[in-house]
Structure 1
C-alpha cells in the first residue's frame, strides 16, 4: 500500500469517533468515512475494476465526492474528476480522450453517456443523486450482445476482494489542464507526488489537528483536492464542504464552524472586499490563502486593511500536484506582489536557451522536485520537460531573498514592436481606478507593431460607462510607459473565466479574433 493511502487510513482509524467531514448540515466521523469508503471499494471489486483502471468521477462538492475519491485511491485505480456540469460536447470529448472504464455520475451525465457509443471504453456506470444519498443508488452495465445499458442491482453486502495495494508509482489522479493552444495536457499524478505536496502544505501552512478548513472551491480541481481536503485530512484536521462559494454565508459559516483557514482565489477575495464588513471578525481565522491566478496587490492590501486577516499569496500548478510557492505565515515576512518562496522543490529562472538567470532578471520559471511530474501521460507537450526540469510556461523573476514574482504567461506576453508587455502589470494599473469590476488585457494583431495592447473592462453596476474608456486611457498614460498603454479600451458585459474565477485570456482573444474576421 502506498504511503498516501496508509496515512489516510491511519488518520481515520485513529479518530473513529471524531467528526472529520461536514456536508449538508451533518458531520461525518472517521468511522463512517471508513465504512462508506469500504462499501464503494466493494462495488469496485464486484464490477471487476482492475488496478490502474481509469474511473470518471462527476459529482458536485459533497461528502459523496470525498468517499468515492478516497475509495478509488485506496483501491489502486485512477480517479479522473470532472466538472459535473460539463456540457455534452465536452463530456464526449473527455471520455474519448481519457478512456475511463467506469464512472460515478449524476443523472445528467448518465443520460449523455448512455446515448453515445463508448463501448470501446465504458463498462459500468454508478448513478447517484448527491442531494438525497451518499452512496450510489443504481448501477448500469454495458451489454455488448444487446448493445444496451442494463440496470444491475447493487449488492449492499459487497466487499473488496483481492484488490491490489497501490505502489508509490501508481497513477492516483488524472487531470487535464487547458493550455492556451493545442490539446489539453494529460497530467498523471502518482501517489508519491501527492504525498510530497501534502507534506509541503502541512509544513508551510502549519496545519494541525486543531485546524478546520473551508472547502468551497470545486473538488474536480487539484487545489481543492490536495490543498483543502487531503492536506487537512492527513494533518488530523476537519473539513467543511460547501457546494460553492457564497458571499452571504461566508462569515456566518466561518464563525459557526470555527473555520481556521480558507483556500480561495483572487475573485473571491475581491468579492469579500466589496461586501459589507461583518460585525465581528472571527478570531480563530488564521489566514486566507490565495492561488489559481495573480492576486492584485491593491486587492490584498485593501483586504488586510479592512478585515485584518492575513492574505497568503501562493503559486501552484497541476503538474506539481498543486503548490509550488507560498508566502510565509505571520510572523514570517510576506511580500506583496510576490507568490512567495519555493517550498519543498527546486526552482530556477532561465532564459530561452535554458541558462539560469541572476536575481531580478525575467525568464521562464522551471521546477523539479518529488511532487513534480516528469512527463505527461499522453505524447503532446513533452518538450515542457527538459534535462530534468519542468518548464512551467510562466515568466517571472526572483529577488535577492528568493521571493518569486510572476509577470505573465509566456504565450500571453504581448510583443509590441519588440517591447514585451506583461498583461498583469497593465491590469493592476487599471484596477487602481474606482468602478472597475473586472479587467483583462490581451495582445491583438497590429499591422505596424505586430501586436497592440487591448484592455477589456467590466464596470461595476453603479458606474456610468460613458467616458470610462477615456478615463482609463488617461490613467494608463500617466502611470505606464507609452508602449505599455492600451491602444484600445473596450467596456464589455462579461469576460471569460474558468470554474475558479480565473480570467481566460486565450478564450477572450479567440472570441475577439473571430469577431474581427
Structure 2
C-alpha cells in the first residue's frame, strides 16, 4: 500500500474529483482517507454505505491500508437485501485463506441469488501500480460496489487524472457533466450509450471534448457500434473487458469499427474450451461466500461463462453469456445474433431477445422491442418477420413480440 499512498500524495493540489459541486484535491482526498481510518469501527468486515463516491473510495483505501475486508453496498439497496448481504459477509471459512486486506463484491443477481465474492484487495490494487501519469477527465457512472466502477475510479485516480461524478446516473445528467467539465473519457455500458443516443444527449449538450468511449459490462451489438461511430465521429471507441471474478483484463481493440479484441495482459493467461473463455490471473477471487465454486478450477483457472468467437491474429469477440443460450428443439440460438439483425429494422431503437417455454420445442425465441414509433405488436411482428427472412434461420426468428415502455438500466448500468 505504500506505493499507492505515496503516489496520491505526489499529485498534491491537482484535482482528484468533482462531486456534488465540491472540488476535491488529491491532498484533500488523502485527508479523507486518514479520517476514514479513525472511524472504521470494529470487526474484520467493514461495510461502506455512503452515498458519496469520493468518500466511499477513501473508506475503501483506508480499509485496505488497515488489512481488513471492505463490503461496499449501494445506498439504493433495499433494507432486506442489505441485511441479507451483511449476514452472508458476517463470517466465512474463506477468510482463513486471506492474508492482508480483502474486498467482498456481490453479483447483480440477474440469473439467480446474488453471489458474494471474496477478492484479495491488494492483488487488485497492485495491478494499477504501473500506470503512467495522465491529464484527462473521466465520467464515473458505475458505483464502487461493481468491479467496473472500481476499475474506472482507480485507473483515473492512480494516474493523477480527475474523476467526474454526475448528479445522477441518467443520460441527461451525463450530458450535462460532459459539457460542464469537458469530460475526455466516457466509460459506459452499451445499454446506457444506447439510452444516450435515444435521448439525443449528444445533440443537446456539447460532447466535443469526449476523446474515448470505453464500453463494456455487456456485449455490444454491431448496429449500435455503428450508430455511436456516426454520432461521436471524433471519439475513439474502445472495448473493455473483465469479470467480477478476475477484475479488469487489459485488452487491445482491433479498431473502433470492430468488436474483436486481443488479450494483451502480461498477468493473464487465457484459453477457449467449447467456445467458452477461460481466464487465469493473480487477481482471481479467493472464492464465493454463498455459491457453488465449480467455475473456479483448483489450478487457478476461471470458467467465465462467456461464449466467444475466434478471429484473426489471436483475436476474440464476446458473443454473450452461455446461460442466455436458447434451445429451440435442439437448435442453439444466442440472443445477440438475433438482436444484431433486429436492430437494423427501421424504427427499432433497442431490443431484448430471450427464450420462452414452448410445449413442443422446449423453448421458442421471443423479443421485447423499444421504439418511438407507434405500431401494435402485430404490425411489428410482420415487419420483423419480413426483415429477418433470409437473414436468420426460421427457428431463430422471434415468434412472440412485445413492446417495451421504456428502455432502462439496472444499478450495474446493464439492460434492466
Query: Shared fold (TM-score greater than 0.5)?
Result: yes
Equivalent in the alignment of 2:84: 93
1:378 pairs with 285, 289, 307, which one?
289
Instruction: Output aligned runs, 1:212-291, within 5 Å.
Output: 212-226=137-151, 228-274=152-198, 275=200, 277-278=202-203, 284-291=209-216
2:73 corresponds to 1:82? yes
SS at match of 1:382: coil
Equivalent in the alignment of 1:305: 230
2:304 corresponds to 1:392? yes
SS at match of 1:456: strand
Once residues 350 and 210 of structure 2 are traced to their aligned partners in structure 1, the CA distance between those partners, rounded to angstroms, is 28
Most deviating of 297-306 and 190-199: 190-199
Distance 1:62 1:497, change over 3 A: closer
Once residues 488 and 237 of structure 1 are traced to their aligned partners in structure 2, the CA distance between those partners, rounded to angstroms, is 48
Equivalent in the alignment of 1:130: none
2:383 corresponds to 1:464? no
Deviation at 1:70, TM superposition (A): 2.3
Instruction: Output aligned runs, 1:343-358, within 5 Å.
Output: 343-344=265-266, 345-351=268-274
Deviation at 1:379, TM superposition (A): 5.9
Distance 1:262 1:7, change over 3 A: farther
SS at match of 1:427: helix
Equivalent in the alignment of 1:185: 115
2:240 pairs with 314, 323, 326, which one?
314
Instruction: Output aligned runs, 1:444-463, within 5 Å.
Output: 444-460=356-372, 462-463=373-374
Equivalent in the alignment of 2:3: 7
Once residues 365 and 295 of structure 2 are traced to their aligned partners in structure 1, the CA distance between those partners, rounded to angstroms, is 28
SS at match of 1:424: helix
User: Whose Rg is larger?
Assistant: 1
Equivalent residues of 2:281, 2:300 under 8 A apart: no
Equivalent residues of 1:211, 1:237 under 8 A apart: yes
Equivalent residues of 1:169, 1:191 under 8 A apart: no
SS at match of 1:65: helix
Deviation at 1:287, TM superposition (A): 0.4
1:58 pairs with 49, 62, 83, which one?
49
Instruction: Output aligned runs, 1:104-115, within 5 Å.
Output: none
Distance 1:316 1:73, change over 3 A: same
Equivalent in the alignment of 1:40: 36
Equivalent residues of 1:445, 1:452 under 8 A apart: yes
Equivalent residues of 1:199, 1:231 under 8 A apart: no
Which whole-Å deviations, capped at 9, do the CAs of 1:108-134 have from their partners, x for residues lacking one? xxxxxxxxxxxxxxxxxxxxxxxxxxx
Which whole-Å deviations, capped at 9, do the CAs of 1:18-55 have from their partners, x for residues lacking one? 221211222112222222221221122xx3x35xx111
Once residues 201 and 303 of structure 2 are traced to their aligned partners in structure 1, the CA distance between those partners, rounded to angstroms, is 42
Most deviating of 63-72 and 175-184: 175-184
Once residues 98 and 125 of structure 2 are traced to their aligned partners in structure 1, the CA distance between those partners, rounded to angstroms, is 9
Distance 1:495 1:97, change over 3 A: farther
Equivalent residues of 2:236, 2:256 under 8 A apart: no
Most deviating of 423-432 and 263-272: 263-272
2:397 corresponds to 1:500? no
Deviation at 1:463, TM superposition (A): 2.9
Deviation at 1:440, TM superposition (A): 1.5
Q: What 5-or-longer segments of structure 2 have no aligned partner? A: none
Once residues 178 and 75 of structure 2 are traced to their aligned partners in structure 1, the CA distance between those partners, rounded to angstroms, is 26
Deviation at 1:298, TM superposition (A): 1.2
Equivalent residues of 1:416, 1:483 under 8 A apart: yes
* TM-score (normalised: structure 2): 0.88
Which whole-Å deviations, capped at 9, do the CAs of 1:332-375 have from their partners, x for residues lacking one? 74452335535341111102xxxxxxxxxxx11100012223x4
Equivalent in the alignment of 1:433: 345
